[in-house]
Amino acid sequence: MISSHFKEHIAQELGTPILKIKAVSGGDISKAYCVFTSTQRFFLKVNESANALKMFLTEKDGLEIISNTKTIKAPEVRHCGKYESVSYLLMEFIESKNPTSKEFETLGHQLASLHAFAVGDSFGWNQDNYIGSLPQSNKNHKDWALFYVRERLLPQLKWANEKRLLTSLEIPSETKLIKGCERFFPKVRPALLHGDLWGGNYLIDSHGVPYLIDPAVYFGHHEVDLAMTQLFGGFSSNFYAAYAEKIPAEPFQKERRDIYQLYYLLVHLNLFGSSYYRSVKGLLLRYFK
């Protein structure tokens, strides 16, 4: 429930009276609302956890960096801040609809453009951010395999062990992890990634325009985003065909997809528990025993 004082604070940030605030879906970690004024609607995320403001600030930065590439849209952020104990992120409201085949093609083309033209000098980011509600380390590395093992797999494996979701014997050594990755990783150019591109983190607006939301950005291998799109059912075949028109598949893409999905499965293991154990254990044995 949004208090009257918080509502007035948001109105002051917008510079216009608020007619009503309505709870909406779209907030797995945070609560989500639609804010109505006389002329516009806005999307409001609120969270009272200790790290919520930092989480929203890194989300804001991710949305803005994606938008600034001019390759694919992201919602415009109006304000990010804290009112009393409540952290919040206020942005434009995107009226969304189910995508057509043609709109999936557009999404594929635009994601490939993001990956092709927004490139970096190293793997990582200028700050750490979050994957879901978990911290995501983004220390910079020149070598992709080292980055992926040290900043992605090892932190999640450590947390899984601390939570007693994986035993020490089930966790490969850093050397085995690096060697397993190096078998399949090609020479990689750092591309700007959305970082958490499952089916709930894109929108097609009422005019058919794709938007990316809830990013966990960093510079990495472009196939990481593709791997995440395929983890829970996959996107339309039109999406993948359109993407491949700009960035064709390379050898061992299936193996890399598995290795990249391992990170997201570890995240889900740490967030949601043992139902993801079998999938994680299977991939660890297949590629890193």
- Tokens at 29, concatenated: 């970690």
Cα dihedral 62/264/273/236 (nearest 10)? 100
What residues pair up with 259 in beta bridges, in sequence order? Answer: none
**How far is residue 67's CA from residue 74's CA, in Å, rounded to a whole number?**
5
**How far is residue 281's CA from residue 163's CA, in Å, rounded to a whole number?**
15
Task: Look up 196 and say whether it is catalytic.
Answer: yes
What residues pair up with 86 in beta bridges, in sequence order? Answer: 83
**CB contact at 8 A, 214 and 59:** yes
Residue showing tokens 């009276």: 17
| Helices marked H in the chain | 4-14, 52-68, 101-117, 144-147, 154-162, 174-182, 223-229, 237-246, 253-272, 277-288
**How far is residue 280's CA from residue 13's CA, in Å, rounded to a whole number?**
45
Which residue among 196, 214, 225, 258 is the active-site one?
196
* Residues classed as catalytic: 196
